[in-house]
Amino acid sequence: MDNNLDLTNLIEDEEKARKGQKVADKLIKISQYGLLVLVIVSAVFCINAYSNGHLDSIEAMRAYISSFGGWGFLILTAFQTMQVIIPFLLCQPGYAVGGMLFGTIPGFLCNYIGISLGTILAYYLAAKYGVAFVKRLVSEETYDKYYNWANSKPNYFLFMTLAFLLPFFPDDFLAFLSGLLKVDFKKYIIVTIVTKPWCIFAYCYLFEKFGEAVFTSGLF
CB atoms within 10 A of CB 24: 21
Q: Is residue 66 part of a domain?
A: yes
Percent of the chain with pLDDT over 90: 60
Q: Is residue 194 part of a domain?
A: yes
- Give how many domains the chain has, as a whole number: 1
Give tens-digit pLDDT for 5-21.
Answer: 555 545 567 788 889 99
Question: Would you say 181 and 2 are in contact if contact means Cβ atoms under 8 Å apart?
Answer: no
Q: The pTM is what?
A: 0.87
d(CA 30, CA 13) in angstroms, rounded, equals 26
Q: Is residue 75 part of a domain?
A: yes
Q: Is residue 20 part of a domain?
A: yes
Which contacts qualify for 189-192: CB closer than 8 Å, 24 or more apart?
189/120, 191/160, 191/161, 191/164, 192/116, 192/119, 192/120, 192/164
Residue 170 pLDDT greater than 90, yes or no: no
User: Which domain range does residue 184 map to?
Assistant: 14-216
Q: Is residue 142 part of a domain?
A: yes
Q: Is residue 6 part of a domain?
A: no
Q: Is residue 1 part of a domain?
A: no
Q: Is residue 7 part of a domain?
A: no
Q: What is the pLDDT of residue 123?
A: 97
